């Protein structure tokens, strides 16, 4: 059985857009976890959110911080090298 084709468009309602964003990020984290389990490797996701001033970093990415240089910019965001 096929699914109905989804029409891609900007979501104008702010609360609906935020809820959709949260659902998609939860699904992405779930996929990342499954990929990590199936492949037996570490995965990393760093997400920029229009709703938060801080980066959202998964647990595996915390280990990445040890190997990368991170600079705090004037606007409070982090710059990774």
- Split the chain (81 residues) into runs of 10 and give each run's mean pLDDT: 84 93 90 86 80 75 60 54 51
75 domain-assigned? yes
Count of domains forming the chain: 1
- pLDDT value of residue 19: 94
70 domain-assigned? yes
5 domain-assigned? no
17: three-class secondary structure by DSSP: helix
6 domain-assigned? no
55 domain-assigned? yes
50 domain-assigned? yes
- pLDDT value of residue 71: 53
- pLDDT value of residue 70: 57
Question: What is the C-alpha separation between 37 and 43, in angstroms, rounded?
Answer: 10
Structural domain of 59: 14-80
SS3 content of the chain, % helix, strand, coil (to 5): 40, 10, 45
């Amino acid at each position: 059985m096929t699914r109905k084709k989804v029409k891609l468009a900007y979501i104008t309602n702010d609360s609906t857009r935020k809820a959709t964003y949260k659902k998609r990020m939860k699904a992405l984290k779930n996929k990342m976890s499954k990929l990590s389990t199936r492949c037996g490797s570490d995965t990393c996701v760093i997400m920029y959110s229009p709703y938060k001033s801080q980066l959202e970093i998964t647990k595996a990415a915390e280990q990445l911080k040890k190997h990368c240089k991170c600079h705090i910019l004037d606007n409070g965001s982090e710059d990774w090298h």
